[in-house]
């Protein structure tokens, strides 16, 4: 067993942002890779925003992604409580240590942290006033991703606000100490806090953990990091849009990390990701969100499902969209889904993809209609084909193909020349699953009925 202890320390706001999910995932991966422990700690110091509902969204999202925690809410553990709102006593005790060591002072009703070093005053352009600064020894952080980062704190900072609430820096560090955290893996936006945190660890007489600051996730296009309003930013949306959690997890693992082994496919089993995940594979440069890449991965995952699992996941989407109802015939549904599965980019795209299998009143795409009539009159093409299909007794894909082939030869044309009109008459579309299997699944009765209606 390893002594690695990592934590995900979100402040739940009601959304599970992809950036948070990625931080959670990287911590989880590192714990699973090393055989250490993954701790969920809730930084719920903002009573207005950190509601129970917000917590539920977060934990549901983590569970959906398969990120189980070894210690934390619902899981228990020796270092609880795992909610900052319930750790007041611990913060008071730790603060006392700093007070007794002479590392604090009071000013304007707040408790300040006193940096060590020579003090001097300097005119501050920003504050338009003289401020007291400190020549403190620079803090050197050996960041596991960014390498050596050096930074000097030169201003004392507040530990406990006037209202009696301890600030983020204090509670974050105290929790990392009291929970025995060995590695802090968090977003690069926290790098600016880390020198303060290191100062605090030292003041408590504790070696700081290893820090690993992971790159930002930029929005699909343009500058700036992904905000919660950007399409694809919220984990809960992926669930409702029918993405597979394994696909989303696979994709997120590659936002800022790569296995550096020239693989062909980015589709990786979670066991493999766990095995390969480590700090050297984390990029320094920012990652950019790419919805197409995520969709492509999701398609691969959907294709890899057996048809029963696919049908199980797909049915609610088809019911929700009104494509099928409880009266649908099970075998027919399975046959349709087997055919459409490879074409589905997501479960939410499925109703549109296969609606015509379940109703005779499908929409006839106008562009396709115009394109087809331009070549030759589809009615002229399809009239003899209707006669042929009506009379043909074996309605399998192969048999239908053979019959059409024979007929096309007798007419001196290629069999494929019939396909666009046939597909259009039967589905109203220009694309879809392979045509012959599509006819087989639709069955003779539907095919004949639809061709008759089309020709009428």
Q: Residues 376, 424: contact at Cβ < 8 Å?
A: no
Q: What share of the chain is helix, strand, coil (3-state, %, to 5)?
A: 50, 15, 35
Among positions 5, 6, 10, 282, the unique one binding ligand GLU when judged by CB under 6 A: 10
Q: How far apart are CA 139 and CA 374, in angstroms?
A: 74
Least distance between ligand GLU and beta carbon 64 (Å): 19
Please state, in angstroms and rounded to a whole number, the distance separating the CA atoms of residues 22 and 258: 13
Tell me which of 34, 50, 104, 172 binds ligand GLU, using CB under 6 A: 172
Q: To the nearest whole angstrom, how small is the minimum distance from the Cβ of residue 201 to ligand GLU?
A: 13
Closest CA to 350 of 314, 386, 378, 374: 314
Gap between the Cα atoms of 82 and 439, Å rounded: 59
Q: How far is 395 from 437, CA to CA, in rounded Å?
A: 10
Please say whether the dihedral angle defined by the alpha carbons of residues 37, 43, 44 and 48, taken in this order, is positive or negative. negative
Of the pair 6, 340, the CB lying nearest ligand GLU is at: 6
The mark string for 313-332 relative to ligand GLU (x by CB under 6 A, - otherwise) is: --------------------
User: Is 114 in the active site?
Assistant: no
- How far apart are CB 9 and ligand GLU at their closest, in Å? 4
Q: Determine which residue in the list 4, 43, 305, 348 makes contact with ligand GLU, applying CB under 6 A.
A: 43
**Shortest Cβ distance from residue 17 to ligand GLU (Å)?**
10
Residue in the block written with tokens 């950190």: 50
Q: Which is nearer to ligand GLU, 193 or 349 (CB)?
A: 193
Segment near ligand GLU (CB under 6 A); pick from 6-14, 61-69, 206-214, 278-286:
6-14
Q: Catalytic pick from 228, 371, 375, 414? A: 228
190 to 219: interface string for ligand GLU, x by CB under 6 A: x-----------------------------
CB nearer to ligand GLU: pick between 23 and 298:
23
**Contact region for ligand GLU (CB under 6 A) — 50-58, 95-103, 184-192, 425-433?**
184-192
**Binding-site member from 5, 6, 9, 382 for ligand GLU (CB under 6 A):** 9
- Rounded to 10 degrees, the C-alpha dihedral 30/31/32/38 comes to -130
Nearer to ligand GLU, 182 or 368 (CB): 182
Q: Within a 10 A sphere around the Cβ of 18, how many other Cβ atoms?
A: 25
Residue 62 CB coordination number (10 Å) = 23
Q: How many helices (H) and strands (E) does the chain have?
A: 17, 13
Query: Which of 4-12, 252-260, 356-364, 426-434 is the region at the interface with ligand GLU (rule: CB under 6 A)?
Result: 4-12
Q: With respect to ligand GLU, which residue has the nearer C-beta, 186 or 249? A: 186
Q: How far is the CB of 209 from ligand GLU (least distance, A)?
A: 10
CB 135 within 8 A of CB 116: no
Span near ligand GLU by CB under 6 A; candidates 183-191, 200-208, 293-301, 326-334: 183-191
- Residue 13 makes contact with ligand GLU by CB under 6 A: no
Q: For residue 122, what is the DSSP state?
A: E
Which contiguous run of DSSP H or E holds residue 160?
strand 157-160
Strand ranges for 98-156 from DSSP E: 104-107, 110-113, 118-124, 129-135, 139-143, 147-151
172/346 with CB nearer ligand GLU: 172
DSSP H stretches of helix in 152-244: 168-178, 191-203, 235-240
- Structure-block tokens of residue 192: 């600016």
Helix (H, G, I), strand (E, B) or coil at 379: helix
In the list 22, 183, 186, 213, the residue contacting ligand GLU (rule: CB under 6 A) is 186
Give the interface with ligand GLU as residue ranges (CB under 6 A).
9-11, 43, 172, 184, 186, 190
Which residues have a catalytic role annotated? 228
């Amino acid at each position: 067993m390893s002594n690695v202890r990592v934590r995900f320390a979100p402040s739940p706001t009601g959304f599970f942002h992809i950036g948070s999910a990625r931080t959670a995932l990287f911590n989880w991966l590192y714990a699973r890779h090393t055989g250490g422990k993954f701790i969920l700690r809730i930084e719920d110091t903002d009573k207005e925003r950190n509601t129970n509902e917000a917590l539920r969204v977060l934990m549901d999202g983590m569970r959906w992604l398969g990120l189980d925690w070894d210690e934390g809410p619902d899981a228990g553990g020796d270092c609880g409580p795992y909610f900052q709102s319930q750790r007041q006593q611990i913060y008071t005790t730790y603060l006392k240590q700093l007070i007794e060591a002479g590392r604090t002072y009071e000013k304007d009703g707040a408790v300040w942290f006193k940096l060590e070093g020579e003090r001097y005053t300097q005119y501050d352009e920003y504050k338009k006033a003289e401020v007291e600064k400190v020549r403190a020894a620079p803090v050197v952080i050996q960041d596991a991703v960014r390498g050596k980062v050096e930074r000097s704190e030169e201003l004392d900072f507040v530990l406990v606000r006037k209202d009696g609430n301890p600030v983020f820096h204090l509670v974050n560090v105290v929790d990392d100490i009291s929970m025995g955290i060995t590695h802090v893996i968090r977003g690069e936006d926290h790098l600016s806090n880390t020198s303060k945190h290191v100062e605090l660890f030292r003041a408590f007489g504790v070696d700081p953990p290893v820090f690993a600051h992971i790159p930002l996730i930029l929005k699909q296009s343009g500058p700036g990091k992904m905000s919660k309003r950007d399409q694809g930013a919220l984990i809960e949306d992926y669930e409702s849009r029918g993405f597979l959690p394994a696909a989303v997890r696979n994709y997120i693992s590659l936002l800022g990390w790569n296995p550096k082994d020239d693989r062909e496919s980015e589709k990786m089993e979670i066991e493999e990701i766990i095995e390969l995940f480590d700090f050297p594979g984390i990029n320094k440069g920012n990652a950019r969100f790419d919805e197409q890449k995520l969709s492509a991965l999701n398609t691969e995952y959907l294709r890899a499902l057996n048809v029963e699992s696919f049908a199980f996941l797909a049915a609610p989407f088809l019911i929700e969209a009104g494509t099928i109802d409880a009266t649908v015939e099970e075998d027919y549904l399975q046959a349709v889904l087997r055919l459409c599965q490879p074409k589905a980019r997501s479960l939410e795209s499925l109703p549109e993809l296969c609606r015509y299998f379940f109703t005779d009143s499908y929409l006839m795409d106008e562009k396709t209609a115009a394109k087809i009539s331009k070549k030759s009159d589809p009615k002229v093409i399809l009239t003899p084909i209707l006669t042929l299909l009506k009379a043909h007794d074996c309605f399998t894909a192969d048999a239908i193909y053979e019959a059409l082939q024979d007929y096309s030869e007798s007419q001196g044309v290629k069999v494929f020349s019939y396909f666009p009109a046939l597909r259009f008459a039967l589905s109203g579309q220009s694309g879809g699953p392979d045509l012959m299997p599509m006819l087989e699944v639709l069955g003779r009765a539907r095919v004949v009925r639809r061709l008759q209606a089309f020709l009428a």
